[in-house]
Structure 1
Amino acid sequence: MRLLILGGTQFAGRAVAAAALARGWDVTVFHRGRHAAPEGAAVRIGDRTAEGGLAALAEGTWDVVVDTWSGAPSAVRDTARLLAGRAGRYVYISSCSVYVWPPAAGYDESTATVPSSPDAGDVPYAEAKRGGELAVSAAFGDTRSLLVRSGLILGPWENIGRLPWWLGRIARGGDVLAPGPRETPLQYVDVRDLAEWTLDAAEAGRSGPYNLVSAPGHTTMGELLDTCAEVTGSSARLRWTPAETVLAAGVEPWTDLPIWIPPTQEGYGALHGVGVERALAAGLRCRPVADTVRDTWEWFVSLGGAAPQRPDRARVGLAPEVEERLLKGM
C-alpha cells in the first residue's frame, strides 16, 4: 500500500507511520520539517497554511491519505481537493469533540454534530475537526472518506502530557493526590491501537464516521494510577480523595488532574461513555492498560523525563502547592 501521511512526525501521525512501515507499506510523510520523520519514510516538506505550501504534493499517487490536522478546515479542504484525483481514500483523524456538547453517555455516530464549514479559518477545536470532516467528504465523497472520531488518546509519543504527567508525578514519590472515586471507569485508546485499526480499516475500504476509543470501563482511575506506581517502581502513596473535596478546592478535572473527571459531573459521559459498537464490530482491539502505561514510561524515560509539548495546547497537571495544601487539609 502507498500511504501519504499529512503530519506523521508526532503522536497519532507518528504512530500511523510506524505501524505502516512495520507492515512494509510505502510511506510518504508531508510535514513542515520541525521534527524528524520516522526512519524509512519518504519526506516531502511544505506548510499547508502558507501560499504555495502544497507544492511538494503536486505530483504523486497514493492508495491512502491519512490526515491528523486540527487547525483551520480550509487547509484540509485545499489538500483534499488537490489529492482527490490521485488518492484512493482519505482518512481524517477527527475527534468525538465534533458532537454537540455534552452528548449523553452511549452516544454513537448518528449523534448531532456542531455546525461548521470546510471553508472556515481558525475556529474552536470542535468546529475545526467537524469542518475538516466536511472538507474530506466534499472532496472524496462519502464512499472514499473515513472519519476516525477518536476519544482520549494515550500512549508513547504523547505530546499533550496527560499520562506523562501522572507518570512523572508518581515517580517522584511521596503522598500523591488521587482523585476519587477509585473505581471511576475510564475510556481511552492507545495510539498504537488507533493506528493499527486505522490502517486495517483503510485497507478494507471502510468509510464514514467511527467513534474510536476503548469500550467503556476499559480501566479505572485506580487501576491506572496503581499501574503507574508499579511500572515506575515508585514508593508513592496514593491518597484517594473524594471528588467533592477536590472540586471544592478549585481543582479543574481533565486539566489540573489529567484524564480524571468525576462521574457526577456534566461531560463525564461524553468523555468516558462513548458508544463504540461500530468500531468494535469493525475489528478494534485494545491492549491492556499495563502495556500502555509501561511502554509510555519507557518512552518517557528515554527522553530524560521531558515529554514533547504541543505549542497550541496548555500544559496539564496540578500545581505542587495546590496538591500540598489539599493533602495537608486531609
Structure 2
Amino acid sequence: MEAALGRDWEVTVFHRGRHEPPAGVVSLLGDRTAPDGLAALARGEWDVVVDTWSSDPVAVRDSARLLADRVGRHVYVSSRSVYAWPPAAGLAEDGPLVEASPEATGVPYAEAKRGGELAALAAFGEERVLSGRAGLIIGPRENVGRLPWWLHRIARGGPVLAPGPRDLALQYIDVRDMARWLLDASEAGLSGPYNLVSEPGHTTMGELLDACVRVTGSGAELRWREPESVLGAGIEPWSGLPIWIPPGEAYAAMHGGDVTKAMAAGLRCRPVAETVADTWAWLRGLGGTAPRRADRPAVGITPEQEAKALGL
C-alpha cells in the first residue's frame, strides 16, 4: 500500500476491519470467507488488483471471478513453495509444480498457493496475470517473527548461539523491494510467473547477524557452532533458529532459486544492513513485541535451549 501511495496511485483496500487502514486509501470492508462477504466489491473498476491470499484457493477464485470484467490486471503474491518437492538448486519458473486445484479447501500451503495461481489464471487469462513467487520475505512489518526474533534476542546481549557456517549464503527479499517490483511489473504489463527473491548469496548468515549486533548496539557475542552441533542439541532449523537452514536438500530449495528472469525485469534488492536497520527502527517504534500472525507458530528457542547448545 505504501509503495502505491508513494506513486500517487488511488488505492482501495478490501479488509475485515481488524486494523486501521493507512491514511489516503479507500477502505472497503468484507470477509472473503463469509457468505456474501465480497458484497463491497460488487461495484467499481480498477487498473490492478493485488491478492496476497495464502489459504483456501476458492477465496481467490471467487474474488477473481467477481472482478475479472472490471479490473485490468491481476497480481498474485504466490510462493516458491508451489514447486514440486524437492525443487533442485537453480530451479527456474518452468520447474515441475505441485498438483493443485482452484476449487480446493483445507489444503497445505503449497497447494493453496498453486491453487490461487490457477484460480487467477482461470478468471483473468494468462496475459493478465502476474504471479510473484516469493521466497523468504523479511523487512519492516514482518508478522511471522523471523528477523524480529533475531533482533530481540541479540538486543538482550550476552553469548548468542549463531548457527553456522558463518559464510552460509542466504536468499530472501525485503518486502519493500518486492512491492516496488510488483508495481513496476504491473505498470509494464508483465505477465506469467517470476521467482521473486534476491540472487543466491545476496548476503550470508554472518553478515545478517553482524548487522543485528551493530544496529542493536548490545555488544552481544556471537558464538558460532557448526550445523551438526546445533542439530545435535535438538534445535530445529527454520523454526527454532529462524532463517537458518543447514546445507542440504531443504537449504538448496530455499536459498538456491534461479531469479534470472526477475533480475532481467528490473528486480533490485537493497543491502541486508538496510533491511536489518529499518526493521529494528520499526520494532523500537512499537515499544514492545512485534505483531505476529495467529495462524503461524511461534519461532525461536528458549534461553535454556540456547544455554544447553552453548554448553553454559
Deviation, 1:305, is: 3.2
Question: What is the CA deviation profile of residues 116-169 of structure 1, one whole-angstrom value per residue up to 9, with x for unaligned ones?
Answer: 100001210000000000000000000000001001000000000000000000
Out of 94, 98, 107, which is 2:82 matched to?
A: 98
> Which of 32-41 and 291-300 deviates more?
32-41
Partner of 1:159: 143
Describe the SS at the equivalent of 1:66.
strand
Partner of 2:268: 285
Unaligned runs of 5+ in 2: none
Conserved 8 A contact 1:118-1:135:
yes
Out of 275, 282, 285, which is 1:302 matched to?
A: 285
Partner of 1:270: 253
1:217 aligns with 2:195: no
Question: What is the CA deviation profile of residues 43-80 of structure 1, one whole-angstrom value per residue up to 9, with x for unaligned ones?
Answer: 00000000000000000000000000001000000000
Structure-1 separation of matches of 2:284 and 2:116? 35
State the one-letter code of the partner of 2:25. Answer: A
Describe the SS at the equivalent of 2:96.
coil
- RMSD after superposition: 0.7
State the one-letter code of the partner of 2:43. Answer: E
State the one-letter code of the partner of 1:324. Answer: A
Structure-1 separation of matches of 2:11 and 2:168? 40
Partner of 2:238: 254
Partner of 1:28: 12
Out of 271, 283, 296, which is 1:313 matched to?
A: 296
State the one-letter code of the partner of 1:164. Answer: P
1:326 aligns with 2:301: no
State the one-letter code of the partner of 1:302. Answer: G
Question: What is the CA deviation profile of residues 80-135 of structure 1, one whole-angstrom value per residue up to 9, with x for unaligned ones?
Answer: 00000000000000000000112011001000110010000121000000000000
Question: What is the CA deviation profile of residues 194-224 of structure 1, one whole-angstrom value per residue up to 9, with x for unaligned ones?
Answer: 0000000001000000000000000000000
Describe the SS at the equivalent of 1:26.
coil
Identity across matched positions, percent: 67
Deviation, 1:234, is: 1.2
State the one-letter code of the partner of 1:299. Answer: W
1:131 aligns with 2:115: yes
Unaligned runs of 5+ in 1: 1-16
Describe the SS at the equivalent of 1:30.
strand
State the one-letter code of the partner of 1:219. Answer: T
Conserved 8 A contact 2:233-2:308:
no
TM-score by length of 2: 0.99
Structure-1 separation of matches of 2:306 and 2:182? 39
1:171 aligns with 2:155: yes
Conserved 8 A contact 1:168-1:305:
no
State the one-letter code of the partner of 1:218. Answer: H
Structure-2 separation of matches of 1:302 and 1:101? 40
Structure-1 separation of matches of 2:151 and 2:25? 31
Structure-1 separation of matches of 2:120 and 2:142? 25
Partner of 2:179: 195
State the one-letter code of the partner of 2:255. Answer: H
TM-score by length of 1: 0.94
1:109 aligns with 2:99: no
Deviation, 1:180, is: 0.5
State the one-letter code of the partner of 2:284. Answer: V
